[in-house]
Amino acid sequence: MDVKNILSAGLSLASMGLVFGAGLAFASQKFAVKKDPKVEAVYNVLPSANCGGCGYAGCMQFAEAVVRGDAKPNGCPVGGDPVAEKIGDALGVTVEENEKMVARVLCKGDKDHCAIKYEYSGLESCISANMLESGPKACSYGCMGKGDCVSVCQFDAIHINEKGVAEVDYEKCTACGACIEICPKDLIELVPASQHVVVDCKNEEKGGFVKKNCDVACIACGICERSCPFDAIHVVNNIASIDYEKCTQCMICYEKCPTNAISADETKKMVAFIEEENCIGCSLCKKRCPVDAIEGEIKGKHKIDPEKCIGCGECIEACPKDTIIMKNI
């Protein structure tokens, strides 16, 4: 009796499974959809997390979008660069690596530079401080240093420095954007990690007014705009902004800025140098140089005046013999 029970249970379920399985097999033959083999290839290298971080419903949808050309091969945030490379291999294209970005607090107006409007003694939160007359700082665009960004950062990458302004630890920053979201002053922006020439100010008020409140603010004088050899910095809405695509980090704007609102890393100041034995005297570098720092006759050896050179790197691109190198000073 027991054996019969087990048999009948097992057999009936097995036969049901068999019937359904056969039906499915038939259906998949009958309704087979021809798929692009590339989709399969891309899908196989994806992490299969189906997390939706790429903006598509799942990994399969992302793979289809990549093959269609709607999504970029480096669009998978979970897989990162290794997966992007594998997708590139599967599709036979080269994948540009995403440039690493970091968050940057665009304010230098610490307590040495920016005046205080009133003494704030409320809740230690930027959002509530911001509700009282746009915060205790004289500059209503400045960092109030109450640390909302610090508490929201999961990576311990942002801190209030001893002078009361938030500062990002660029080594730890993952550009997740949490601090950008929370900052009530909209002061934090993503900047390429290699970019050290940055306008550290967001004040859009008129110059004279700004200057009364903070002495490291951008006063929109336009000197940087006029002195930039690459048309990479422009004053829009009373604030200078750098086009990071065009900027060569020559630091001219940094040197010319009367209020020091533009920051740069001086240890990264470079000058170009021509290795004379390989110079053929084609003079291409001389024509390209935006500051006339290169001297020399055609067919003669050329020289770069390190005093004039701004280290923009234009001559390196122009040189057909690859004989110009950058040197740190």
Smallest gap from residue 56 Cβ to another protein (A): 8
Nearer to another protein, 53 or 296 (CB): 53
**CA-CA distance, 17 to 2, in Å (whole number)?**
23
Nearer to another protein, 11 or 326 (CB): 11
Nearer to another protein, 27 or 190 (CB): 27
User: What number of chain residues touch another protein (CB under 8 A)?
Assistant: 20
Residues 149-168 binding another protein (CB under 8 A) are none
**CA-CA distance, 286 to 69, in Å (whole number)?**
42
Smallest gap from residue 80 Cβ to another protein (A): 22
Q: Which of 49, 57, 78, 93 binds another protein (CB under 8 A)?
A: 57
Q: Which of 200, 134, 214 is nearest to 166 (CA)?
A: 200
Three-state DSSP state, 140: coil
Residue 9 interacts with another protein (CB under 8 A): yes or no: yes
Q: Which of 58, 184, 192, 313 binds another protein (CB under 8 A)?
A: 58
315 in Cβ contact with 324 (< 8 Å):
yes
Smallest gap from residue 266 Cβ to another protein (A): 42
Smallest gap from residue 66 Cβ to another protein (A): 14
Give bridge partners of residue 94 from the DSSP assignment. none
Q: Which of 249, 271, 250, 253 is nearest to 262 (CA)?
A: 253
Residue 37 interacts with another protein (CB under 8 A): yes or no: no
Tokens 């940055």 sit on residue? 198
Nearer to another protein, 8 or 278 (CB): 8
Burial classification of residue 88, based on how many CB atoms lie within 10 Å of its CB (0-12 exposed, 13-18 middle, 19 or more buried) = middle
Q: Which two tokens stand for residue 272?
A: 């170009």
Judged by CB under 8 A, which stretch of 31-39, 41-49, 139-147, 269-277 contacts another protein? 31-39
Residue 298 interacts with another protein (CB under 8 A): yes or no: no
Which DSSP letter does residue 103 get? Answer: E
147 in Cβ contact with 111 (< 8 Å):
no
Q: Which stretches of the chain bind another protein, using CB under 8 A?
A: 8-9, 12-13, 16-17, 20-21, 23-24, 27-28, 31-33, 50, 57-58, 61, 64
